[in-house]
Structure 1
Amino acid sequence: MTQHSTSADERLLNFLRLNPSIWGVAHIPINLELICSLWSDNDWSETKTLTMTALYDNIVEWLCRRYLSKQNSDIQMTKENVYADCHKELAFLETLAFKGMENNTVILRKDLLQKTLKETEYSSKHYTRLLNIGVLKSINAQSIGNRIEVEKDHYFIHLSFQEHFAARYLVKTLNGPGRQAAIEFINSHKYNQRFQLVFIFTSGLLAQSDTESCTDMFWDIILGEPSDLVGLRQIQLIISCMEENASNSCFHRHAELMDYITKGIIIAISMKHDIIYKQLQESLQRSASLVDDSRIQDTFIKLLKSEDPHVKTNILSMISQLSFSNSSPQLIHTLLLYLDDEYWYTRAIACEALGQMRGEAVTDDVINRLVAALGDENDNVKSNIYLALGKIGGKAASDQIRDLLSAVLADENEYFREIVCVALGEMGEKAASDDVLNRLVAAVDNKTADIRRKACDALGKIGEKAATNDVMNKLVTAFGDENYYVRESARKCLGKLDKKVTTNDIINRLMMALQDKDANVRRRACASLREMGEEVATNDVINRLMIALGDENPNVREDACKALGKMGERTTSDDAINKLVIALADENANVRWSACQILRKMGEKTPINGVINELVAALKDEHWNIKRDACNALGDLGEKAATNDVINGLMTALEDCYGNVKEAACKALGEMGEKATANDVVNGLINTLGNAWSDVRESAWKALRKMNQKVTTEDLVNRILTAL
């Protein structure tokens, strides 16, 4: 991927985030593919607002141009001419979409299709070409195998396209002789959630048209009877439809509709049931442009000045969940007054709300007031101030905010350090300084997993300015973190900082980390290689891990052992196995245990010479888990490990005080073949049948059953009777 394409991707993502509704539909794969195709053919760099309707209209235009080019038509024409050339196809799609919505179906049956063909007088002989537009697809029923397209069921590539074309049908019908049917349809279904996007698209299409009478008619229906019982559905619909008029500054009913919305907000906030205002809040969250309207913000100020504590809490909570791009000075001033409220919970929500403020009204004075409020005695208030400063600092370049947050990374309070990692991430690239990066790198080693993870997240959000060698090396070693979420965060962060990073780059950094003077760095490097496994199993890596088996630090030796165990076939060389055999005698119990486990997993691939003696020695280890794994490793080697020393060592293990060791010894003796059928061995296993632990008794019995070919049932019975 080139640097140019990477920056173009970032611009597209930032553009899509401007409209929450578009950001939502962009997560649908087919929509994202079409948006990317459209983006590559259009320059939207100067576009500040894009409504859902405008987006889908642009996509339909782009698909029509592509369709016409396939028909060898000249596409160097206006949008109006493009739609004129495709008017028959569009009329068919609009009618079919609307009828599908009327019938509450996304699977458009063939009888509905054929009725639409007749109604629109679209010739079925051109139908296959119509499918080339790309929004309607046929369903191939494999059991039938019908090749005639008009005999098949169909569907739109996504429900939102069916809704868009249904809205186009409604707009045309409102402006034609079938107006009354359209009026009745809107009036009957305006509170039905299933049709909400249809009406949103209708509002947007009317805003693009010059038919003021139709626009008035639509809004008269929306505002008229019947009203829903609470009034919430009506206000939500008005908000959603008004968002589609965001770019229409001359809309003559704007003031009237804003009055409806502000009254709805006042009623919802004043009600005792939180669910009402929270549902209205969700609608406002999807309407980025409306919350910047002066009438809305004046309503918020009015409610903030209420004497009712329930109203004040509700409005603060609502504001804290909305995204502003042009906050009024009066709104910010009113919120600042709450920093002195007597209740800590109110102060905390006010700080959260202040973090949502944007625009020229967010002055140095506002920042200073927040900084001064850090003297608050309540930790929840202070944490919300840090987050608010981070969000504000991401929009307003402020070295003061960055340096203040950076200093908190050295605070003894781990909760604040975690919060500040998030706050610095909110600042993005504006948080980048040597001091911040150094402290975030140190935080990646913090003892608390959440701090490590959020430090990685913050580095990723800071972006390319954080792509220093120290940061990259630290992220690579974090691949070996004990916490899954930290490892994933480190990987994602590394991908954001360097989209061209390769596996070889990562290996080279880890190889350097294996030579670091800090034992923790060396240990993390081993753990990272373990997590990556066979993907990084080069000769150089394995040789470096074998060297690490001799490290002065036992933790490094242990992790090097574990890493070698994940390298696959390449670790079955004589050199690697000899190193692991030596590790069986390590002074550290964890190293011995790890080496024992790995040699066991290698099984038959492990050379016998030199291994067996060390495993026999491990049978005398002071730690029960090492003795158990030595028994298991010898059992996996089977008959080729059945020397006298091995048999005698396993017999001794039968007398061990730990049941897990006895059980493993029984299993191993059962794998030793003919040499394990000597009287002493059989008698030892028979005696073990009287052990208090059922797992030990069962393992002893299974081992004796494996000896049936060499020891007869009669012999076993006689020996058991003798033992009794």
Structure 2
Amino acid sequence: MSRFLNELLKQPNVIITSRPSAKPPPALDLELETIGFYQIKAFTNRDTGKVDLEKTEKVQSFLQSHWLIQGLVRIPIQLDALCYTWDDFDPGSVPDTMTGMYKAIEQKLWKKDAVRLGKTHSGQPVTAAQIGTSDPKFLVEDEIYFLERLAFTGLHNDVIDFTSEHRGAIPNKLLLDKTLPQLSFLRTSDPSPNVRDREYHFTHLTFQEYFAARCFVRHWKDDSQLEYVFKKQSNTQSDSPTDPAKFFRKQKYSARYDVFWRFVAGLLDAEKDNKTLQFFKMMEQEPLDLLGPTHQRLQDEPYFRRASSQP
């Protein structure tokens, strides 16, 4: 892979995209930072292709009165998530944190996927109308558990493209070759007619980080050990702790886990129990970097909802 990348960099014109935390190669001719955009009309009308002025105005009005959310939806996938789920919200229940938006779109996509997967209730196939406002997660528990473990293990091993070997390493009760093409959270760009040879990736890296965070929260609340089921890669740490608390202390300020920890904080904050309190107490313990941006973001995620008005 390194030889391949070096060969690409020798080409006359190369465009490299990355997150801000990535370290770019030296001697770039031009370095730019994308700070976002507001293409609200395009996202609010994707399903019908028609302009819905009322919906567009409501979304714009909401964003104008929630200045912190404005920063979140500069990321296209998050603006898409907000617009996609908008019609499902009551006027006062629009999510006002990044985690809240991802939980909302997760629920809506599982409703669609439950039907596509042929899930049944009382022996009969369910329909979208029957699911209605119910939480569909009880219908897709095995699929959720699989995605959580796949996402977390992939994040730990720096894997975003999952081969059949990766997928098969995750204990599951699914017919993967039948199930994965039906999941809205995964995509494949591999045209291979042999489904076992295809590589899958999450629709967006933030979805992998979201499901990885769900996996961590599950272990944190259950006081159970983390599991790393992929074969160890040369670029992964050999001494990664399996205890969730030790893992948190070790990786709290790691750039790789930046968005992951924000999701963890948001998911735990929604629970508001003793395990939530334990997490936020540990956040203020050693090691500490109180002035660093990562620590501030960890604190900001659950408090977005408490500071939603204009400053």
TMscore range, shorter length: 0.5 to 0.7
Counterpart position of 2:83:
36
Counterpart position of 2:233:
none
**Structure richer in helix, relative to its length:** 1
Aligned equivalents of 1:80, 1:174: Cα separation in 2: 26
Aligned equivalents of 1:175, 1:39: Cα separation in 2: 31
- Counterparts of 1:1-150 in structure 2, within 5 Å, are 5-19=52-66, 22-40=69-87, 42-47=88-93, 50-70=96-116, 71=118, 72-75=125-128, 76-77=130-131, 81-116=135-170, 119=171, 121-123=172-174, 125-140=175-190, 145-148=192-195, 150=196
Aligned equivalents of 2:187, 2:69: Cα separation in 1: 23
Aligned equivalents of 1:36, 1:7: Cα separation in 2: 13
Q: What code does the residue aligned with 1:185 have? A: F
Aligned equivalents of 2:208, 2:150: Cα separation in 1: 9
Within the candidate set 240, 248, 264, 1:202 is matched to 264
Residue 77 of structure 1 and its aligned partner are, at CA, apart by 4.6
Aligned equivalents of 2:211, 2:115: Cα separation in 1: 22
Aligned equivalents of 2:76, 2:291: Cα separation in 1: 35
Does the CA contact (< 8 Å) of 1:107 and 1:155 recur in 2? yes
Residue 39 of structure 1 and its aligned partner are, at CA, apart by 1.5
Larger of the two Rg values belongs to structure: 1
Within the candidate set 240, 244, 249, 1:187 is matched to 249
Q: What code does the residue aligned with 1:60 have? A: E
**TM-score, scaled to structure 1:** 0.30
Secondary structure of 2:261's partner?
helix
- Over residues 513-568 of structure 1, what are the superposed CA-to-partner deviations in whole Å (9 max), with x where a residue is unaligned? xxxxxxxxxxxxxxxxxxxxxxxxxxxxxxxxxxxxxxxxxxxxxxxxxxxxxxxx
Identity of aligned residues (%): 23
Secondary structure of 1:50's partner?
coil
Q: What code does the residue aligned with 1:168 have? A: R
CA 1:184–1:58 in 2, change beyond 3 Å: closer, same or farther?
A: same
Within the candidate set 168, 171, 185, 2:214 is matched to 168
1:220 aligns with 2:266: no
Q: Number of aligned pairs?
A: 240
CA 1:129–1:66 in 2, change beyond 3 Å: closer, same or farther?
A: same
Residue 67 of structure 1 and its aligned partner are, at CA, apart by 1.1
Aligned equivalents of 2:209, 2:197: Cα separation in 1: 24
Q: What code does the residue aligned with 1:240 have? A: D
- Counterparts of 1:585-600 in structure 2, within 5 Å, are none
Aligned equivalents of 1:82, 1:92: Cα separation in 2: 16
Aligned equivalents of 2:134, 2:245: Cα separation in 1: 26
Q: CA RMSD in A?
A: 3.0
Aligned equivalents of 1:78, 1:185: Cα separation in 2: 39
Residue 78 of structure 1 and its aligned partner are, at CA, apart by 7.9
Secondary structure of 2:201's partner?
strand
Unaligned runs of 5+ in 2: 1-44, 119-124, 227-241
Secondary structure of 2:194's partner?
coil
Does the CA contact (< 8 Å) of 1:137 and 1:157 recur in 2? yes
State the structure with bigger RCO (CA 8 A, min sep 6), 1 or 2.
2
Secondary structure of 2:243's partner?
helix
Counterpart position of 2:121:
none
1:157 aligns with 2:203: yes
Counterpart position of 2:302:
242
Aligned equivalents of 1:26, 1:122: Cα separation in 2: 36
- Counterparts of 1:336-485 in structure 2, within 5 Å, are none
Does the CA contact (< 8 Å) of 2:185 and 2:202 recur in 1? yes
Does the CA contact (< 8 Å) of 2:160 and 2:201 recur in 1? yes
Residue 238 of structure 1 and its aligned partner are, at CA, apart by 4.1
CA 1:197–1:157 in 2, change beyond 3 Å: closer, same or farther?
A: same
Does the CA contact (< 8 Å) of 2:188 and 2:198 recur in 1? yes
Does the CA contact (< 8 Å) of 1:53 and 1:205 recur in 2? yes
Aligned equivalents of 1:153, 1:102: Cα separation in 2: 18
Does the CA contact (< 8 Å) of 2:98 and 2:301 recur in 1? no
Aligned equivalents of 1:201, 1:159: Cα separation in 2: 13
Q: What code does the residue aligned with 1:155 have? A: H
Counterpart position of 2:6:
none
CA 1:126–1:18 in 2, change beyond 3 Å: closer, same or farther?
A: farther
Q: What code does the residue aligned with 1:50 have? A: D
Aligned equivalents of 1:17, 1:129: Cα separation in 2: 41
Residue 29 of structure 1 and its aligned partner are, at CA, apart by 4.5
Does the CA contact (< 8 Å) of 1:66 and 1:133 recur in 2? no
